Structures are given as structure tokens and as C-alpha cells.
Chain A
């Protein structure tokens, strides 16, 4: 897995000069410089992928939509007017949000497709690629199915949050931004972000408690879905 967190794995030096460095990086990316684009990509891939993965039910779709977002980033970055990191994050998450919305819009128009074969052993299947790496020792199909169902429940619960709540979770948990940066991203003040953060997690907990069977309602029991890590 490609693991990244702001505090540990950022590709931009996390110094007091970070803001001006990011501005220069963005300027270079606007000029279509490959290195700058790569840096931005690595910086924001986890956040974008995480945001999309929490919105769609399977990894393959999340990867497709993530590809779409970054190709659109390349196409549209020359017209981007913002110069700070929060503005860029808001922009790229906006692209991600539109892509997810487009996915659900298209899916509504498609007829319901029920696969005739079981998906657990299918390499292309959502369950396998969702949670279980091929090399993982725990290859019990029952656990795969459970993990898939559990994550689907989480996705459904996240989809029931408001867009602002989702963006706060992505900003804080997946992109690793502090409250002030997320506040700038959303155009709100710090207190509002803290309130949104609390309500988002609280709503999520409530929704998951409703949907999850009694033996799995406690958050402690939901951690490490599928037994990974």
C-alpha cells in the first residue's frame, strides 16, 4: 500500500515556508511541468482516493474515478486561480465530488446487473480488491465477504453525511490537515470545522450502530476491517 500522511510522508517540506513553496509548486504545475505535477499528485492522491473510496462501494470504481480526477487536474490546472494549498485541496476535492456524482448519475441510468458467478475468488471482483491483498495470509472467503459488507455499510453511512461533513473528515483524517487549513478549504472558521468534525463522527457512529448487527456496533470492534494490519 502507498501510505501517506501529512505529518510523516508529505512531499512538500513541512516548514514555516510551506505556503510559499506550495505557491511555487502550483505555478510550475500550471506551466505543465511534470515534476511539479508529480509532487502534487503524490501529495493529494491519498486524500482524493480516500475521499472517493469512502463514497463508492468498490476499489475498482474508486481507482477509475481517481484516475479521472487527476487527468482533469492536468487539463484544468492552468486555469486554476488559487495559489494556496487549501484552495487547491478544495478544488481537487470538488473535481472528485463531481466525478462521484457523475458515477452515481450514470449508475442510476444503467439497468441492474446481477452477476451469475460468485465474486469472492474473482481477481477483478470488488471484494478481493477492496480489502484483502493477494499476499495476505488471511484468505478466508467468509472474512472477505464480511469485510466487504462492513465497508459497504461504512460507505453508505458516509454517503448519508452532508458534503461539508465529508470534506471535514477527508481533510482532517485522510489529508491530515489541521483545523485551520480545513477551515480555509471550506471557507469557515475553526470552531465551525470542529463542530462539523464532531457531528460527522457522531452521525457516522449513530448510522453504523443502526446498520451493524449488535455484536459489531462498538467502534472498537469495527477497526481493522477484514483483519488487515
Chain B
């Protein structure tokens, strides 16, 4: 500590006591000051000069008037309770001025609210179930349903959310995301069930009738939308959509039974008889997810198809399905006949193409014109086409095309063209 600072302070304090206790005139200052330190003495004198300058002394008239003015102002303040109400005191502006922590906290809360609102708004627009915000969207919907007090409100929300799910399905169909599509379809189904349940809880009356009418309108709309989506979907998704269409009261195929009639002789065609409802003319046969390019005949709700059925020698279950021209698809799983080589479509089992490296036997019967290319031998009247690396023999009059690497034999008199590729069996 600088001794001058201390010395000055001591002198000021000493002068304070001596001057003010005696109310001494500043003219006497020099005589009171010790002459030991001229610099400190000069500073003390300067301090006294400022302290006692008439310019800093308050005029007593002014002091009295100002005191009165201040008290009147205070009284006026007290007479305005409305302006000093609790609301005024708690107003954010005032609190922010007087409590900086409050200002920070308020700002933080506002930002949090804005952020939450922003996320909720964004999540409400999310339709893709793969989006991380989709879970938030679902949570928000569940919360809204939980918070809705009346069955009417709940039913209205259920219908609204069902509509959202239908829109989401359209987006997912365009995205070709099979898994997400199926999940969303299930949720649509569930949402409609919830809506039905909520409507049933509404007391009978005009409101309930109105909700029922809205539900019916929605179901019609949903059926239209789902049918419109069918051409864009894969078979698995079509199957799921057909089930939902059935739930919505739509007309969709339903399979009851499938019967196989094996050919009486080796190389003959297997007859598949499918019994069901809402089977349409021109429907395609689907075996284990493969659409067979064969047309059948429909009589009294029974479809009959003739296919070359070459099993693998063991009896096993097959998924037999019907794909209606409108895109709806129904399927049934059933034990199929045993066979050998593979199955094909067409009227001429001999024309079944055998692709692959196997040593299968291919026989063709018919009266067609056959050409034989490659290493095959053509006998008779047939114009069979034999392509591949195999050693094929073509006998008879058939028009069979034989493609593949096998050593096939083609015999017969049939007219059939067989282009079937044996992907199912016989490879």
C-alpha cells in the first residue's frame, strides 16, 4: 500500500473530525494542517475546497420544495393502485427488469416451448414410419385421443387419424416400402376398428348417426384409394390390401378349397380346381408367388386350370392363389400332388422349357410344326424348336420349343406352344 494513499486518508479523516465537529470555516484550514507533507496537504485542501464549495451546497428553499414535491409524488403513486396491481408487478416486463434470472429462465422456457411446438408441428407432418419423428407423431395422436373427454371427440379423432393413415399408405405405395406399407395397413385397420368402437360408445341419436355416416363415407373412400393402389403393389402387399378391403366391406376374392387332379398318364397335365367366391373371369393362377401364364375356365364360382405339374416327388404344401383382373389377390395354402421334374403351364407338357443344368425329361405331344435347332434330332412331322446345349429329340408333329441345357426328348402330336420356364421344380 502506498504510504501517500494512507497518509492522505488519515489527514482527510482527521480534518473531517476537526472541521465538522467545530464547524470550522475553511479559511482556517492551513493552520490545522501539519506542514510535514506538502503534497498531501495540497490534496486535502483541494478536497476541502470541493467539499465546501457553495456550488455543492443545497439551497434550503429548494430542499424544502423538493421534499414536498417528492411526498406529493409519493401520494399520487399510492393513489393509483390499478397501475400498481399484482398483475402489473408480475408483468413479464417488470419481472425481467428486476429479476435477471427470471428473464433468463423465461427466455429459456420460451425457446423450449418454441422448439417443442416446432418439433410437434414437423412430426405431425411426418408420414413415413421410418422417420424418427414418426414415433412422436403417434405419441401425439395417442395423447390427443386420451385427452379427448367425450366419445364423440374420440370418434372424430379416430376418423381423422384413420384418414391420415390412408394418406400415408398412398405415400408408402409410391415409395415401394413393403414392410412400412404393411405396418401402416395394419394401423389403418386398427384405427378404423377404434373408430367403430368409439362410435358405438356414443349414445344413440343424431350425433351417432352423423358419425356412422362419416365412417361409411370414409370406408367408401378408403376402398377406392386402396383399389387404386393395387396395380402399384407386389403380390404380398396386394394380399394384405385385399384383406383390408374385405374388412372394409369390399368385394374381394375368397378361396375355399383347391383340388388337384393328377393326369392319368405320365406327362399329362394336372387339373387344379379352385372353389371360392368373387372369382372373376380372367383371373390368373398364382402358385407359390409365381403368376402362371395360363387361363382357366370359370363356371359357377369354380375355376379350373390345367397345368403341367412336375413335383419333386414328395408331397408338400403349396400356396395357390387367384389374382383377379382388378388387382385383388387371394391365396390358400394346401398340400399339392407329388410329381417329378417340375410344373409348367400350357397345354403341352412336352413344350415345357427346361432351363438349367439338370437332366430332366421333356416330352411334347401335339400336332404342331416343330423346329429343331441345336443338337437335337427332329423326327416325324413336328417343327419343334430345341435350343440349348442338350441332346434333344423331337418326335411327332409338335410345335414345342425346348430351351435349356438338358438332354430332353420331345415326343408327341400336339399343337401347343410351351414357353414355360420351369423355375419351380425340375431344375
Q: Which residues of A contact B (CB under 8 A)?
A: 1-5, 7-8, 32, 34, 37-38, 41-42, 45-46, 49-50, 53-54, 59, 62-63, 66-67, 70-71, 73-75, 79, 81, 130-133, 151, 154, 158, 169, 172-174, 176, 178-179, 191, 194-195, 197-198, 201-202, 204-205, 208, 218-220, 222-226, 228-229
**Which residues on A sit within 8 Å (CB–CB) of B58?**
1-2, 4, 45-46, 49
Distance of A165 Cα from B16 Cα, bound (Å): 19
**Which residues on B sit within 8 Å (CB–CB) of A5?**
20
**Which residues on B sit within 8 Å (CB–CB) of A73?**
70
**Which residues on B sit within 8 Å (CB–CB) of A74?**
70, 73-74, 77
B173 to chain A, nearest CB (A): 64
B43-55 contact mask (Cβ, 8 Å, vs A): 1 or 0: 1011111111111
Interface residues of B toward A: which range? 35 or more
Q: Is the CB of B50 within 8 A of A131?
A: no
**Which residues on A sit within 8 Å (CB–CB) of B50?**
54, 154, 158, 169, 173, 204
A selection of 5 A-B contacts at a CB cut-off of 8 Å is A8-B21, A49-B58, A59-B55, A169-B50, A225-B53
Q: Is the CB of B9 within 8 A of A205?
A: no
State which of B5, B47, B75, B78 has its C-beta within 8 Å of the C-beta of A194.
B5
A88 to chain B, nearest CB (A): 16
Given contacts A202-B43, A224-B26, A229-B26, contact A37 B52 (CB under 8 A): no
- Whether B298 is near chain A, meaning CB under 8 Å from some CB there, is no
Q: What number of A-B contacts does a CB cutoff of 8 Å give? A: 166
Interface SS majority for chain B: helix
Q: Is the CB of B54 within 8 A of A229?
A: yes
Distance of A50 Cα from B49 Cα, bound (Å): 13
**Which residues on B sit within 8 Å (CB–CB) of A169?**
47, 50
Q: Is the CB of A194 within 8 A of B9?
A: yes
Q: Which residues of B, 7-43, contact A by the 8 Å Cβ criterion?
A: 8-9, 12-13, 16-17, 20-21, 23, 25-27, 29-30, 42-43
Interface SS majority for chain A: helix
A147 to chain B, nearest CB (A): 8
Q: Is the CB of A198 within 8 A of B70?
A: no
Distance of A151 Cα from B52 Cα, bound (Å): 12
Distance of A220 Cα from B33 Cα, bound (Å): 12
Q: Is the CB of A224 within 8 A of B27?
A: yes
What 6 pairs between A and B have smallest CB-CB spacing? A50-B56, A219-B46, A1-B57, A2-B58, A228-B54, A201-B43
Q: Is the CB of A2 within 8 A of B59?
A: yes
Q: Is the CB of A176 within 8 A of B16?
A: yes
**Which residues on B sit within 8 Å (CB–CB) of A41?**
66-67, 70
Distance of A193 Cα from B411 Cα, bound (Å): 122
B274-285 contact mask (Cβ, 8 Å, vs A): 1 or 0: 000000000000
Distance of A129 Cα from B316 Cα, bound (Å): 121
Given contacts A7-B16, A50-B56, A154-B50, contact A205 B42 (CB under 8 A): yes
Q: Is the CB of A223 within 8 A of B73?
A: no
Distance of A71 Cα from B71 Cα, bound (Å): 9
Given contacts A74-B77, A194-B5, contact A205 B30 (CB under 8 A): no
- Whether B60 is near chain A, meaning CB under 8 Å from some CB there, is yes
A203 to chain B, nearest CB (A): 10
- Whether B98 is near chain A, meaning CB under 8 Å from some CB there, is yes
- Whether B63 is near chain A, meaning CB under 8 Å from some CB there, is yes
Q: Is the CB of B1 within 8 A of A131?
A: no
* Complex: chain B residue closest to A49, CB-CB: B58
